[in-house]
Amino acid sequence: MTIQDIHKLFLDCKNISTDTRKITKGDMFFALKGEKFNGNKFADEALKLGAKYVIIDEHTYKISDQTILVDNVLKTLQELATYHRNYIGIKIIALTGSNGKTTTKELINAVLSKKYNTVATKGNLNNHIGVPLTLLSMTKHTELGIVEMGANHKKEIGFLCHIALPDYGYITNFGKAHLEGFGGVEGVIEGKSEMYTHLIKYNKTIFVNTDDSIQFEKTKNAKTIKFGTSSGSDVITISLQNYESYVRVAYKNQQIQSQLIGDYNFGNIAAAIAIGDYFKVSPENIKQAIENYTPNNNRSQIIIKGTNKIILDAYNANPTSMEAALINFNKQKAKHKIVFLGDMFELGKSSQLEHQRIVTRVQSMPFTQKYFIGENFYLCKNNVESNLFFKSFSDFKEYYPQLEIKNSLLLIKGSRGMALERILDLLVNE
């Protein structure tokens, strides 16, 4: 059966499903495989749960005309996504970067949805499975698609661009993220820049933050839309007004007061404004969209617990985002400031060095209390008060009753695997 034939069946289905626990009647189920599971084994169950068709790649599980046998389920999913993207003829905006991807994506979607029917990546479904699923969630009624792309090694962004075929692209920044897979910062720049390579090859448009020298240099010969704090006839000018509490920016004689904390969010906000400007969303609607956006899912959330105010930024962490968060936290006005930092993952050979750098940086800052949680930070405890370091969250939780945390401003930051949002449960009665 050809991709075109499968696409005809897909159009007759309600949704795509890859998990029998989430199937709804009329879905097309893709029996994906992983290291510890084989979706083919659930073909019969998927049909019993209401799937209209099941895509499999093992002949043993072909039990009816509703089971479609292909050579490779994952490859079929990806090829179907590309075919569908071309079929509906939608304009795709793709974005990647080391930090701020999801926040920027959400901001762009908030702005563009003021004028257009948009579909954006849900959550962080930004990999070789998530990108196809995002494309397949778009319909003929969708006017603009916003696709987030993540990567932890080279050639991944290029591959995702080959699937999504973006018309526009934006890279938030280049930082010390996934160093283990990319092989260092230069590898990160090379890997993320695969988006530039793809867009330039097909003469597509790149949004460029002129305040970022790497972005500016790498897109000199590209078709670009420029934005930043500099002024010029070919630059969408956006200026940073304040960041001591929430970020406030100026754009076209308007003051836009966001609900995002940290000057590191300025670039994310500016990108959303610039993209909205390019797609002719009115300045008033851009302002409204930015001001109404509230961060969630442990990303720079502001939470009040008892007498404490918390900046919860525990969705993920790398050396670049960790340092940016600390610098911003140091600028916040509060009598008592406390940091809880969790391990940063996927740093490879640079792990101990990068964790030590963060510890050294924190020790130079005048915070009231400083706590480091995780095996990597624990290795840095020499010559520093040992009770600041905890090998695991369990160790920290056991120690916590000895602490008195009241009337303070808190920063909670760590990689996803550390799940430091659990600290909130300990703060309930403070």
Q: Over the stretch 189-201, which tens digit does the pLDDT of each residue have?
A: 999 999 999 999 9
CATH homologous superfamily, domain 301-426: Mur ligase, C-terminal domain (3.90.190.20)
Q: Sheet holding 67-69: strands in order across?
A: 16-17, 28-30, 53-56, 67-69
List, in sequence order, every residue forming a beta bridge with 308; answer none if it has no partner.
305
Domain range list for the chain:
3-71, 89-292, 301-426
Please give the pLDDT value at position 221: 87
- Is 311 in contact with 320 (CB distance < 8 Å)? no
CATH code assigned to 3-71:
3.40.1390.10
Distance CA 125, CA 395 (A): 33
Q: Over the stretch 407-418, which tens digit does the pLDDT of each residue have?
A: 999 999 999 999
- Is 64 in contact with 43 (CB distance < 8 Å)? no
Angle value at C-alpha 239, between 282 and 221, nearest 5 degrees: 85
- Is 403 in contact with 336 (CB distance < 8 Å)? no
Copy the structure tokens of residue 275: 């993209």
Q: Over the stretch 225-283, which tens digit does the pLDDT of each residue have?
A: 999 999 888 999 999 998 777 899 999 999 999 999 888 899 999 999 999 999 999 99
Q: Which CATH architecture has domain 89-292?
A: 3-Layer(aba) Sandwich (3.40)
Please give the pLDDT value at position 337: 96
Q: Which amino acid is at 120?
A: A
- Is 256 in contact with 291 (CB distance < 8 Å)? yes
pTM: 0.91
Mean pLDDT by 10 residues, the chain (430 residues): 96 95 96 92 95 96 94 98 97 95 96 98 92 97 97 93 98 86 87 96 97 92 95 92 88 95 93 98 98 86 91 91 93 93 94 95 94 96 78 96 92 95 83
What is the β-pairing status of strands 239-242 and 246-251?
A: antiparallel
Please give the pLDDT value at position 386: 63
Please give the pLDDT value at position 409: 95
**Distance separating the N- and C-terminal Cα atoms of the chain:** 62
Please give the pLDDT value at position 430: 54
